[in-house]
Amino acid sequence: MTGRARARARGRRPGQETAIPSVGAAAVKQTLPSQLPSHQQPQQPYVRPSVSEEPGSCGRQSGPQSVPQGQKGGRPEGLQISSGFQDLSVAEWGGRRRGFHDLGVTTRQAIEHVRESKTHICLPLILGSSGDMIKLTANYFLLTSRPQWALYQYHVGYSPEMEARRLRSALLFRHEEIIGKTHAFDGSILLLPKKLGNKVTEVFTRTRNGDGVKITITLTNELPPTSPTCLQFYNIIFRRLLKMLNLQQIGRNYYNPSDPISIPNHRLMIWPGFTSSILQSEESIMLCVDVSHKVLRSETVLDFMYRLYNQVEEQRFRDACAKELIGLVVLTKYNNRTYRVDDIDWDANPQCTFRKADGSEISYVDYYKKQYNQEITDLNQPVLISQSRRKTGTMMPVSVVLIPELCFLTGLTEKMRNDFNVMKDLAIHTRLPPEQRQREIGRLIGYIQKDDNVQKELRDWGLSFDSNLLSFTGRVVRGEKIFQSGNVFDYNPQFADWSKESRGVPLICAKPLDNWLLIYTRRNYDVANTLLQNLFKVTPSMGIRMNKATMIEVEDRTEAYLRALQRSITPDTNIAVCILSSSRKDKYDAIKKYLCTDCPIPSQCVIARTLSKPQTAVSVAAKIALQMNCKMGGELWSVEIPLKQVMIVGIDCYHDTVSGKRSIAGFVASLNQTMTRWFSRCAVQSRGQELVDGLKVCLQTALRDWFKWNKYLPSRIIVYRDGVGDGQLHTLVNYEVPQFLDCLKSFGKDYNPRLTVIVVKKRVSTRFFAHSGGALKNPPPGTVVDVEVTRPEWYDFFIVSQAVRSGSVSPTHYNVVYDTSKLKPDHLQRLTYKLCHMYYNWSGVIRVPAPCQYAHKLAFLVGQSIHKEPNLLLSDRLYYL
């Protein structure tokens, strides 16, 4: 394997980087602030969000909730009781995580042909076309609530007005004889499981100062169990339960600290735990539970810095710290908070002072001593800076200062992720095969059923869970036939891999290696020669014509490589191959940057060690030959694509956490009918600019290129959009999709292609298990689920496309947010699955459609190494593979 991302993808299939769920960075991403959660009428997919979105603001509104323009209609002003989706967010309880499940984004109603049914109607007699049925179990539990279960939402007003939430609560709770013992109150909104006698209840009470206060409790909503507020509320209740079970909350999930798994070799500690969410699924409300593992480190950030200091040279120490630490999540010793490290302030130290809320100045040392009895011993350590993600009223992000000595590291550093041994040791504990995973999930339900307090709380709210996992029937679509210049072959569906079958078969389109460079250092002379010999061995059967490379020996310095490239590249050069003696990133970055921007030719970097093992040298050379061929514009294999005149687009984002915090979107669009050639471009987001502006430009150029290739414009465009964060669905639906439509309009009035936009999500906690001979197994590749666990307001489905060697396979979620294609769900699902076969860096089925993975690779290369837009001369080749 070669290339920068090699280490990340090592031994794993592309698109599977997050095989270990919820460790470190994964957890961070999930706690990113949700943008603009929306609460809309299902009939109106594109209306503005209904309530003001300032966190906490809706809790403070004194009147009835504002309703979206469109639905306010003829309702009289003043108090009204409504039942339905006109909801407000439970801001204070849900906190910053509201919107996490993209509640309230309803898209299916707008898509005409799936309004009635989005399921592929599968008649068992018509075999073959629809795929085989398979009995599946999902990690979902049915929520059974009492009939007519509703939640009553009250607005609580105080006269005179009371500001302090605590006081408001204290005053209200004195009247438990009226409101009952079971309640939830955020200072303004009161939720009760029972209805009060009157629509408006007034009670009088006295403050501690003896002032009389009138509390007015007004019924504003009767929430059906399916309303977004209700769902948010179920989730809050459930979090309470987990707390009652003595599970520790870290980030968004709950972990059991009493039985940690310790991996002393790497100073790692794994806490087993659960991630849970209660969601509206197709027919009922479900609890989705998955096993989560929190990787914690039994060393502080300061310990880590000391250790690093001993490992690197003095002048590189600060950079090394920044590289290793920025972006990591730390856990403070003195409270249960997690923070993401955004910066390290080397000019500050614990003796610096800050201003407390009351205005007094205090040093960090004194503060932590006084407040938490925490001694800071190293007074010269730098401090960590974390930008608070809670937006304050002024929208000015507040930064939090943290002391390294008082922070534990969590998750894995990039270096550890790249360390094969660390990942192997972790995988033993975190990759649970289906049987074991199901057992662990069942344990949580067991805990809930055994704990009396938890049972009581559930009873008070009238909630209960089914104790069995949800079972239903899914479908397995046929494996594809792989076409490779006149040869057709099947692959073993169990492994979803055809590396054996395709060996020795000529490629669809082989690019010759007439004129190419091989650059190496003196020490790697032998390695370079062996590579050359092996390439001569493997290329003929692929159909690649090859001349001997121009061999260039250089000193092991970045400048030497660059100088050699500058001198030797001619307009006829096909590709430059560089053998690097180490995985040092700077050399790689410099070479890639030069060959992607200043001097645009395909390039291939290989680390000498990869080539040095005699037993694997030939197969490595074969892989490199394929990769080089793709980079030069060659084509490897194809599958049958029945749709004509369709352009497939894949988009993925890379978020640069270290320098400049820029986002980069990779954009890849098919150029031909067989989906073997791709147009690739990326959008580098500059400060204050929306990513979508760049995407528009990409789409425009892609369509122009398509026209150049095909002499007509595509009649259908299908966009696979990856890299959409939790809670960002609303933005995508309301801003990005209209921008795409806008862009298409610019091609003239007569051009009306059908557009489909599908949001691709790899990071889901849904798992499927297949029943096989009394045991639970991973479902086979090609398993499609569009029933039971999908969401009624969406046109969505799950596909398990890849096979895994260990652990439980993770399905990919596809949410069709916009679709004028009128394609049958079955056809769209099968097209999606076909596209998972088309990623040329892996001769097997991957987890996402190939264009998404290409877009990911491109964005990753640009974000990690090049930092600016690559030269467009390369855009018709997969130069970034």
Partner 1 sequence: MDENFQEEQFTGIIKFTPPLYKQRYQFIKDLVGKYKPKKVADLGCADGTLLWMLKFCSCIEVLAGLDICASVMKEKMHRLSPLPGDYLQPTERSLTVTLHHGSVAHKDPCMLGFDLVTCIELIEHLEEFELKKFPEVVFGFMAPSIVVISTPNCEFNPLLPGVTLFRHPDHKFEWNRAQFQSWALETARRYDYSVEFTGVGHPPIGMENVGFCTQIGVFVRKYPQTSESAQTEKPTEAVYKTVFKAVYPSLKDEKYLQNAVVSEVIFTAQIIKQSLLDHLMSEHEEYEDDPTERKSKFQPSVSCLSEDLGKLVVEKSMEPFVNGNVAYIPLTTIFYFPKVNRLCGTFEKLCKLIAGKVTLSSDGSAVIFNSEHENEEN
Residue (450 or 868) nearer to partner 1, CB? 450
Which of the residues 457, 652, 705, 736 is marked catalytic? 652
Query: Which position among 39, 155, 837, 856 bears the catalytic label?
Result: 856
Q: Report CA 760 to chain centroid distance, whole Å.
A: 9
Q: Does 459 bind partner 1 (CB under 8 A)?
A: no
Which is nearer to partner 1, 313 or 347 (by Cβ)? 313
DSSP conformational letter for 803: -
When asked if residue 297 is in the footprint of partner 1 (CB under 8 A), the reply is yes
Rule CB under 8 A: is residue 358 a binding residue for partner 1? yes
Which range touches partner 1 (CB under 8 A), out of 152-160, 241-249, 460-468, 498-506? 241-249
Write out the binding residues for partner 1, residues 703-762 only, by CB under 8 A: none
Calpha distance 480→837 (Å, rounded) = 8
Closest contact distance (angstroms) between CB of 127 and partner 1 is 40
Residue 605 pairs in a beta bridge with 578
Q: How far is the CB of 812 from partner 1 (least distance, A)?
A: 24
Peptide bond between residue 642 and the one before it cis (omega within 30 degrees of 0):
no
Strand-strand pairing, 268-280 and 285-300: antiparallel
CA distance 610 to 478: 36
Give the residue, chosen from 106, 253, 332, 843, that forms a contact with partner 1 under the rule CB under 8 A. Answer: 332
When the beta carbons of 306 and 709 are compared against partner 1, the nearer one is 306
Residue 267 binds partner 1 (CB under 8 A) = yes
Residue 741: is it exposed, middle or buried by C-beta count within 10 angstroms (0-12/13-18/19+)?
A: middle
Choose between 466 and 556: whose C-beta lies nearer to partner 1.
Answer: 556
Residue 849: strand pairing partners: none
DSSP state of 688: T
d(CA 454, CA 448): 6
Residue in the block written with tokens 């980087």 = 17
Q: CA-CA distance, 157 to 170, in Å (whole number)?
A: 14
Q: Kindly tell me which residue out of 336, 377, 380, 615 binds partner 1, with binding defined by CB under 8 A.
A: 336
- The residues, any chain, with a CB within 8 Å of residue 496's CB and separated by 6 or more, are 479, 781, 801, 802, 803, 844, 845
Nearer to partner 1, 148 or 335 (CB): 335
Q: Which two tokens stand for residue 421?
A: 């041994």
Q: For residues 761 and 751, give the distance between their C-alpha atoms in angstroms, rounded to a whole number.
A: 30
With binding defined as CB under 8 A, does residue 346 bind partner 1? Answer: no
Q: Hunting for tokens 């179920």 — which residue is that?
A: 234
Question: Which residues, listed in sequence order, are joined to residue 142 by a DSSP beta bridge?
Answer: 286
Q: Does 208 bind partner 1 (CB under 8 A)?
A: yes
Interface with partner 1, residue 331, by CB under 8 A: yes
Does 408 interact with partner 1 (rule: CB under 8 A)? yes
Segment 563-582, which members bind partner 1 (CB under 8 A)? 581-582
The nearer residue to partner 1, 399 or 582, going by C-beta atoms, is 582
Q: Residue type at 493?
A: P
Nearest in space to 104 (alpha carbons), one of 86, 128, 82: 86
Rounded to 10 degrees, the C-alpha dihedral 300/301/306/311 comes to 120
Residue of 42, 68, 257, 462 that binds partner 1 (CB under 8 A): 257
Least distance from C-beta 393 to partner 1, angstroms? 24
Please say if 722 is a catalytic residue.
Answer: yes
Q: Which is nearer to partner 1, 56 or 257 (CB)?
A: 257
Which is nearer to partner 1, 10 or 459 (by Cβ)? 10
Six token digits for residue 393: 């009223």
The interface region with partner 1, picked from 218-226, 246-254, 442-450, 665-673 by CB under 8 A, is 246-254
Dist. CA 31–CA 294, nearest whole Å: 14
Give the active site residue among 282, 553, 690, 876: 690
Q: What would the two tokens of residue 507 be?
A: 């490629």
The verdict on 438 binding partner 1 (CB under 8 A) reads no
Q: Beta partners for 344? A: 384
State the Cα–Cα distance between residues 308 and 56, nearest whole angstrom. Answer: 42
Among 195, 188, 220, 248, CA closest to 82:
220
Rule CB under 8 A: is residue 309 a binding residue for partner 1?
Answer: no
- Residue among 87, 342, 480, 722 flagged as catalytic: 722
Q: Which of 160, 210, 571, 688 binds partner 1 (CB under 8 A)?
A: 210
> Distances from the Cα of 157 to the Cαs of 59, 187, 441, in angstroms?
11, 9, 43
472-510 in b/e form (b: 16+ CB < 10 A) is: bebbbbebbebbbbeeeeebebeebbbeebbeebbbbbb
Work out which of 57, 262, 449, 566 binds partner 1, going by CB under 8 A: 262
Write the binding mask 595 to 634 for partner 1: x where contact by CB under 8 A, - elsewhere: --------------x---x---------------------
Interaction pattern, residues 142-181, with partner 1; x per rule: CB under 8 A: ---------------------------------------x
Indicate the residue type of 684: V
Q: Does 73 bind partner 1 (CB under 8 A)?
A: no
Q: Would you call 425 a catalytic residue per the annotation?
A: no
Q: Which two tokens stand for residue 352?
A: 């610096």
Between CA 375 and CA 435 the distance in angstroms is: 46
Q: Which is nearer to partner 1, 260 or 600 (CB)?
A: 260
* Contact flag: residue 298 with partner 1 (CB under 8 A): yes
The amino acid present at 267, given as its one-letter code, is R
Is 260 near partner 1 (CB under 8 A)?
yes
Sole window of 33-41, 128-136, 260-268, 812-820 interacting with partner 1 (rule: CB under 8 A): 260-268
Q: Which of 46, 309, 354, 372 binds partner 1 (CB under 8 A)?
A: 372
Q: In this chain, which stretch among 14-22, 208-216, 684-692, 735-743 interacts with partner 1, using CB under 8 A?
A: 208-216
Residues identified as active-site: 652, 690, 722, 856
Q: Where do contacts with partner 1 occur on this chain (CB under 8 A)? A: 10-11, 181, 206, 208-211, 243, 246, 248, 250, 255, 257, 260, 262, 264-265, 267, 269, 271, 296-298, 311, 313, 331-336, 358, 371-374, 408, 420-421, 581-584, 609, 613
